[in-house]
Structure 1
Amino acid sequence: MRRPSFLVPDNFTLALIGTVVLASLLPCRGETAIAVNWLTNIAVGLLFFLHGAKLSREAVVAGATHWRLHALVLVSTFVMFPLLGLAMKPLLAPLVTPALYMGILFLCTLPSTVQSSIAFTSIARGNVPAAVCSASASSLIGIFVTPALVSLIVTNHAGASGSGWHTVGAIVMQLLVPFIAGQLLRPVIGPWLDRNRRILRFVDQGSILLVVYTAFSEAVNEGLWHHLSLGSLAGLFLVNALLLAAALGLTTFASKRLGFNREDQITIIFCGSKKSLASGIPMAKVIFASQAVGAVVLPLMLFHQMQLMVCAALAQRWAARDMHHEHPQETSVRAR
């Protein structure tokens, strides 16, 4: 029997694993590290510039009026997740190292994903315009809220050396300013980007791989793998699974209890239970000390792959259920 497609790692996941292996075996040092760091900063700025140029204002306006949905997604992203991270501390402490727990708390402060939230909502036949607006708003608000939450909970509860509020200016300059510039230039380059989406995907994935390589190079130089045991990595996997299950369960319960229709429930579940690798890794690079970034982003990298696999399975299941309800006879014939 063939394995379900959502269980097969995609090329980007394999590239992430390969980048971590490369950084572990051949970490960059000295002048090379400085050059790669500059290249990474340029790539991240270009990434957010292109995201700003790509985002359709019409799509945002179309979904912006659904304020109850957006409020619930933002509460799930920036309130529920941090509370889960703090409440689970007695359970997490025996399973992971203090550095990994700091990474889990940082993961809990991050905004939602944009591309995958919209894609899964579309596959499952949810409210796509609302997903575009909600996920995009989460990403923008996270530029300011994530540093504040890092200062409030990560520094105080995990002994982090990073200071969120002191790095807001750096995050604004590196992420928000390019994004706004892209929005302003959308009338000029937006149509070209719509025709050449592969360029955005290349910059998106390439910038993340560069940040992962530089972060893990610095962490390996500081002895990352000497301080992490197989037991800690296994504990991290379990912790991420529990966190994702709790987020999916709570967003499902809240969206049903508050009376949202099925399309809106799908949007809330996918936008409110996921965390952004594309925003998280650049933010970690700015907020935390360079030698700590590798351990901080490790929980996020694992959570990213887990959320993609689980949400892909859910989206396919819900889409198939809709098809069955709409065409029960056709579905029955195919099953035979």
Structure 2
Amino acid sequence: MASFRLRRFIDPFLFILLGTVLLATLLPARERAADFFQWLTYLAIALLFFMHGAKLSRQQVIAGISHWRLHLLIFSCTFILFPLLGLLLRPLITPLVGPQLYLGVLYLCALPATVQSAIAFTSLARGNIPAAICSAAASSLIGIFLTPLLVLWLMGASSDQATNTTEAIQKIVVQLLIPFIAGQLARRWIGEWVARNRAWLKNVDQTSIVLVVYTAFSQAVNEGLWTQVPLANLVGLVFVCCLILAIVLAVVWFVAKVLGFNLEDRITILFGASKKSLATGVPMAQVLFAGGAIGIMLLPIMLFHQIQLMVCAVMAQRFSQREHD
């Protein structure tokens, strides 16, 4: 029982990612090996978004349109509140984490919501599960188009950390959009097979993410990542992630209550609107950013991912213990 509770608080995959970062720090890919991993990463990202397209049911998105107020609030938080917080808190965040990690925080704020954990916590907390499924699926789909545009707006197309607009759009179309559409088209033939093998296919997602993290941190280490990011900035980043999450949770709960949503819907909104997707953020960073900047961009989402899991696990457990209506 203790180990089961621990798994609710800590994502085991995080340890794999931390091990990958350590490996990249001690044995970074260089020269030909770096080129090999770069191409392998491109292929892995294309496969990842092909599988996203094959998994995502259009019916899940269409079915939830009737609950548009709930979804609109979640999307507004994911794609408006988070980015605004990243901009408004800049005078506080930048001294704590430095200008490079601040850009990573902005990237975090532009990401779509998670799918699996938002649904899992809503289910545990006895919220509106169908609405959670629809909202999470739609957020994942919208994020493919909206997140890159938000990143370009938040950071500025002329930023040293971001590629130029034309190049970014080309990469998004080739590496993300075309594979995703191909997966949607192939769903007609492989949809049932994908549904039967979801547990096994999770390994494809995680392997792709590990490849991206190793390649990204290898580049960053080769360019002196750990000399650019002092320990004090990493501690400051933990504080910033906790602060942003706390503000979002408080604002979302208050607004949902003022708008008259019932408890089940408020639970769904709370867990759907406060999440940011590591699974989408890692491969998308490889497409949007260049060189050693990728490793720095990934640090905030890796920390925020674990913090949101720990906090939301406690909240979901508390909600689950309420009396049945």
TM-score (norm 2): 0.93
CA distance in 2, matches of 1:93, 1:240: 13
Trace 1:249-260 onto structure 2 (pairs within 5 A). Answer: 249-260=250-261
Who is 2:271 aligned against?
270
Give the distance between the partners of 1:105 and 1:164, measured in 2 at CA.
17
What letter matches 2:22 in structure 1? V
Paired residues of 1:51 and 1:182 also in contact (CA < 8 A): yes
Counterpart residue number, 1:64: 65
Q: Work out which structure has the larger RCO, using CA pairs closer than 8 Å and 6 or more positions apart in sequence.
A: 2
Please list the CA deviations of residues 167-186 of structure 1 after superposition, one character each: whole Å capped at 9, or x if unmatched. Answer: 12311221222222222222
- Return 139-148 or 287-296, whichever deviates more: 139-148
User: Residue 242 of structure 1: CA displacement?
Assistant: 0.3
Aligned residue type for 2:188: P
What's the CA shift for 1:158?
7.3
Once the two structures are aligned, what percentage of the paired residues are identical?
A: 57
Two-structure CA RMSD over aligned residues (Å) = 2.0
SS in 2 for 1:97: helix
C-alpha change, 1:225 and 1:302, in structure 2 (3 Å) is same
Which residue number corresponds to residue 194 of structure 1?
A: 195
The CA deviation at 1:90 is 1.3
Note the alpha carbon deviations across 1:242-261, whole angstroms, 9 max, x for none.
Answer: 01111111111111111111
Q: Shift of residue 307 of structure 1? A: 0.9
Question: Contact 2:175–2:287 (CA<8 Å) still a contact in 1?
Answer: no
Please tell me whether residue 226 in structure 1 is matched to residue 227 in structure 2. Answer: yes
Is the counterpart of residue 146 in structure 1 residue 147 in structure 2? Answer: yes
Give the unaligned 5+ runs of structure 1: 327-336
- C-alpha distance in 2 between matches for 1:126 and 1:175: 32
Change (3 A) 1:156 1:193: closer
> What's the CA shift string for 1:208-262, capped at 9, x where partnerless?
1110000000000000001111111100000000011111111111111111111
> What is the CA-CA distance between 1:2 and the residue it aligns to?
5.2
Q: Which residue of 2 aligns with 1:304?
A: 305
Q: Contact 1:248/1:269 (CA < 8 Å) preserved in 2?
A: yes
Output one character per residue of 1:11-46: Cα deviation in whole Å (capped at 9) or x when no partner.
211101100000000000111111111111211211
After superposition, where does 1:117-266 map in structure 2 within 5 Å? 117-155=118-156, 160-163=161-164, 166-266=167-267
Contact 2:83 2:109 in 1 (8 A): yes
TM-superposed CA distance for 1:198, in Å, is 2.3
* Equivalent position amino acid for 1:117 in 2: A
Tell whether the 8 Å contact from 1:59 to 1:133 is kept in structure 2 after alignment. yes
Most deviating of 190-199 and 29-38:
190-199
- How far apart in 2 are the matches of 1:49 and 1:220? 30
**CA distance in 2: counterparts of 1:228 and 1:7, whole angstroms:** 30
Residues 48, 25 of structure 1: alpha-carbon distance in 2 compared, 3 angstrom cutoff? same
- Residues 1:13 and 1:283: Cα distance change in structure 2 (over 3 Å): same
1:325 is the counterpart of 2:306 = no
Residue aligned with 1:12, SS? helix
Find the counterpart in structure 2 of residue 329 from structure 1: none
Aligned pairs, number: 324
2:294 aligned partner, one-letter code = V
Contact kept, 8 Å, 1:103 with 1:295, in 2: the verdict is yes
Structure 1 residue 107: Cα displacement: 0.6
* 2:321 aligned counterpart, secondary structure: helix
In structure 2, the partner of 1:333 is: none
| Unmatched runs of 5 consecutive residues or more in structure 2 | none
**Aligned match of 2:84:** 83
Partner of 1:34: 35
Three-state SS of the structure 2 residue aligned to 1:274 is coil
Code of the residue aligned with 1:130 in structure 2: it is: A
Q: Bigger shift: 64-73 or 173-182?
A: 173-182
Q: Give CA deviations for 1:56-75 in whole Å, capped at 9, x if unaligned.
A: 33333322221111111111
